[in-house]
Amino acid sequence: KQEVTQIPAALSVPEGENLVLNCSFTDSAIYNLQWFRQDPGKGLTSLLLIQSSQREQTSGRLNASLDKSSGRSTLYIAASQPGDSATYLCAVGDQGAQKLVFGQGTRLTINP
């Protein structure tokens, strides 16, 4: 059974810093991996989608990497801003039904 773990559970940094969020998964036979953002009481916003054959994806100040063999992904946020404050969720898509298994999330606070 796939298990997804995110470290740290919470992170608080000053504005302008670069930061890395970590995601690990137990079964490397994945279809894809996604990073989402969730604001309090809201739904999910997809940030980046990495296919199993890819190593990384970039969108603006965000860069996500995937190392399937080691079961790890990282989300790099450059030049963080207070508006980046949210919970970031990592989700792994299985090869069959493409179900998503979510990690517990990292609660990120960017201090002005």
Partner 1 sequence: GAVVSQHPSRVICKSGTSVKIECRSLDFQATTMFWYRQFPKQSLMLMATSNEGSKATYEQGVEKDKFLINHASLTLSTLTVTSAHPEDSSFYICSARGSWRDTQYFGPGTRLTVL
Binding site for partner 1 (CB under 8 A): 32, 34, 36, 41-46, 49, 51, 89, 91, 97-105
Minimal distance in Å, beta carbon 34 to partner 1?
A: 7
Cβ distance to partner 1 smaller for residue 41 or 112: 41
Q: Which residue has the tokens 């604001």?
A: 39
Minimal distance in Å, beta carbon 52 to partner 1?
A: 11
The answer to whether the bond into 8 is cis (omega within 30° of 0) is yes
Burial state string for 3-12 with b = 16 or more CB within 10 A and e = fewer than 16:
ebebeeeebe
Cβ distance to partner 1 smaller for residue 46 or 70: 46
Minimal distance in Å, beta carbon 99 to partner 1?
A: 6
> How far apart (Å, rounded) are the C-alpha atoms in residues 86 and 64?
17
